[in-house]
Amino acid sequence: MPLLHWSPRSPYVRKVMVALHEKGLAGQVETVRTHADPLIPHPGLMALNPLSKIPTLELEDGSVLFDSHVICRWADRAGPACSPKIWLPSGTRLWAPAC
């Protein structure tokens, strides 16, 4: 089961948690509360993520993802194929000219 290092104070973790819930993966990812202080690196987290930041996701195959954007992209691909996509395909216009 993937393991997510998280903290309730992080807006980036909240972004990841919303993505996991929307993709139906929240129950399939274990969470561990990890204190990440920018001035005092967490030794266990530092071994996984050289930035020592959360969120950090350890996958079952031993690979590690960090940065909320990357973890959300993973959730978009790992979730059920029938669930709506969180991220639009690259090249999709996000706005249209006013006139």
What would the pLDDT profile of 38-92 be if each residue is shown by its tens digit? 788 888 898 999 988 999 999 999 999 999 999 999 999 998 888 888 877 777 7
The CATH fold assigned to 3-78 is Glutaredoxin (3.40.30)
- Residue ranges of the alpha helices (H) in the chain? 11-22, 43-48, 68-78
- What predicted TM-score, i.e. pTM, was given to this entire model? 0.85
* φ, ψ of residue 3 in degrees (nearest 5): -120, 120
Q: Domain coordinates of the chain in residue numbers? A: 3-78
Distance (Å, whole) CA 76 – CA 86: 6
